[in-house]
Structure 1
Amino acid sequence: MSIVERVAWIAVDWGASKLQIWAMDGAHDLLAERSLTQDMGGLECMQFESVLLQIIDEFLVAGRVMPVICCGMVGAKHGWVEADYITAPSRPPSGACAMRVISNDARIDVRIVPGMKQVAQPDVMWGEETQVAGFLSEQPKFDGVLVMLGTHSKWVHISAGEIVSFQTFITGEIYALLAHQSVLKHSIAVTGWDDIAFEVALAETISRPESAAAKLFSLRAASLVGDQSAEVARARLSGLLIGLELAATRPYWLGQNLAVVAATNAGEIYAKALSLQGLQAQVYDARLMMRRGLIAAYNTMKNTT
Structure 2
Amino acid sequence: MSKLSWIAVDWGTTQLRAWAMDSEDQVIANTSSDRGMGRLTPPEFESALLELVEPWLEASTPALVVACGMVGARQGWHEAPYADVKDAFDPQITWVDTTDQRLHVCILPGVRQLVPADVMRGEETQITGVLALEPKFNGMLCLPGTHTKWAEVKEGTLRGFKTYMTGEIFGLLSSASVLSHSVNGSAMDQTAFIESVLTVAKHPESLAGSLFSIRSMDLLHGASPAVARARLSGSLIGAELASVTSNTALESETLIIGTDQLAKLYAAGLRALDKPARMLNADDCTLAGLKRAKAGLTLDVL
TM-score range, shorter chain: over 0.9
One-letter code aligned to 2:283: R
What percent identity do the matched residue pairs reach? 38
Identify unmatched segments of 5+ residues in structure 1.
Answer: none
Q: 1:196 aligns with which of 191, 194, 211?
A: 191
2:79 is matched with: 82
1:261 is matched with: 257
Conserved? CA contact 2:10–2:18, under 8 Å: yes
Structure 1 residue 132: Cα displacement: 0.8
One-letter code aligned to 1:18: Q
One-letter code aligned to 1:7: L
Query: Does residue 139 of structure 2 align to residue 141 of structure 1?
Result: no
Distance in structure 2 (CA, Å) of the matches to 1:10 and 1:180: 38
Deviations 1:158-198 (A, max 9, x none): 11111110000111111122223333222214332222201
Query: Does residue 266 of structure 2 align to residue 270 of structure 1?
Result: yes
Number of equivalences = 300
Structure 1 residue 7: Cα displacement: 2.2
2:278 is matched with: 282
Distance in structure 2 (CA, Å) of the matches to 1:287 and 1:30: 12
Structure 1 residue 39: Cα displacement: 4.8
1:222 is matched with: 217
2:42 is matched with: 45
Match runs of 1:60-139 below 5 Å: 60-94=57-91, 97-139=92-134
TM-score normalized with structure 2 length: 0.93
Identify unmatched segments of 5+ residues in structure 2.
Answer: none
Distance 1:252 1:70, change over 3 A: farther
One-letter code aligned to 1:285: N
Distance in structure 1 (CA, Å) of the matches to 2:3 and 2:182: 51
Q: Is 31-40 or 46-55 further displaced after alignment? A: 31-40
Deviations 1:85-115 (A, max 9, x none): 1111344245xx2211111111100000111
Deviations 1:216-260 (A, max 9, x none): 222223222222111111211110110110111124441442211
Query: Does residue 56 of structure 2 align to residue 27 of structure 1?
Result: no
TM-score normalized with structure 1 length: 0.92
Q: 2:166 aligns with which of 167, 171, 185?
A: 171
Provide the secondary structure at the position in 2 that maps to 1:53: helix
Provide the secondary structure at the position in 1 that maps to 2:75: coil
Structure 1 residue 10: Cα displacement: 1.1
Distance in structure 2 (CA, Å) of the matches to 1:304 and 1:165: 32
Conserved? CA contact 1:155–1:168, under 8 Å: yes
Distance in structure 2 (CA, Å) of the matches to 1:269 and 1:242: 8
Distance in structure 2 (CA, Å) of the matches to 1:59 and 1:108: 11
Structure 1 residue 52: Cα displacement: 1.4
Q: Is 169-178 or 124-133 further displaced after alignment? A: 169-178
Provide the secondary structure at the position in 2 that maps to 1:301: coil
One-letter code aligned to 1:76: A
Distance in structure 1 (CA, Å) of the matches to 2:174 and 2:235: 13
Conserved? CA contact 1:86–1:117, under 8 Å: yes
One-letter code aligned to 1:51: A
Distance in structure 2 (CA, Å) of the matches to 1:233 and 1:26: 51
Q: 2:201 aligns with which of 197, 200, 206?
A: 206
Distance in structure 1 (CA, Å) of the matches to 2:186 and 2:231: 13
Distance in structure 1 (CA, Å) of the matches to 2:131 and 2:76: 27
